[in-house]
Amino acid sequence: MKRLLAVLLLLPAIASAAETTCKKSPALTGQCRIVKGSLGLTSNIGVTLVAEDGTRFIIKAPPDSNADIALPVMQNWLYWQSKTGSMKTRINGSFEVCPLPTEINTPGIKDFGCITKGTRITEDKSAPAGN
């Protein structure tokens, strides 16, 4: 687990400096906005953000980028995963989400986005792991 954590923390540093960031991507379909909610892995879907109002977002990188989640948010999520010993740990916070084009997907989630920053991040103790 510690090796995986170290590798995941170094991956963004290896990325090219010319890479398109989430917030500057020409693929965005609207303004970035703050969404309060729970971020984590959802079984059979991937990384999701579940907003307080129940809206679900699939988190992904814009085209030609791997900038799906800002490094400080990812590091915070990895910190909570290491504390709980589970990669399925979800985190609560206020996340700046930038909208990406809708795609057809089996879970019926129509909102896609990338995360540029997060604040007030804590472990989501109310969510069962993996949901």
The residue count of the chain comes to 131
Residue 6 in any domain: the answer is yes
Share of the chain above pLDDT 70, in %: 79
Residue 12 has pLDDT above 90, yes or no: no
- Out of 11-15, 67-71, 96-100, give the one with best mean pLDDT: 96-100
117's tokens? 């920053």
Classify residue 10: in a domain, yes or no: yes
Residue 82 lies in a domain: yes
The answer to the question of residue 84 being in a domain is yes
pLDDT tens across 47-87, in order? 999 999 999 999 999 987 888 999 999 999 999 999 999 88
Q: How far apart are CA 79 and CA 83, in angstroms?
A: 6
Q: CB-based contacts of 11: which residues, under 8 Å, 6+ apart?
A: 66
Domain that holds residue 52: 2-123
117 lies in a domain? Answer: yes
Please say if the pLDDT value at position 117 is more than 90: yes
CA–CA separation, 78 and 73 (whole Å): 9
Between 33-47, 48-62, 74-88, 95-109, the lowest mean confidence (pLDDT) is in 95-109
Q: 63 near 24, Cβ under 8 Å? A: no
129 in a structural domain? no
Residue 80 lies in a domain: yes
Cα→Cα distances 21→37, 76, 117, Å: 22, 19, 12
How far apart are the C-alpha atoms of 57 and 67, rounded to whole Å?
A: 16
The answer to the question of residue 131 being in a domain is: no
Domain count, the chain: 1
The predicted model scores a pTM of: 0.78
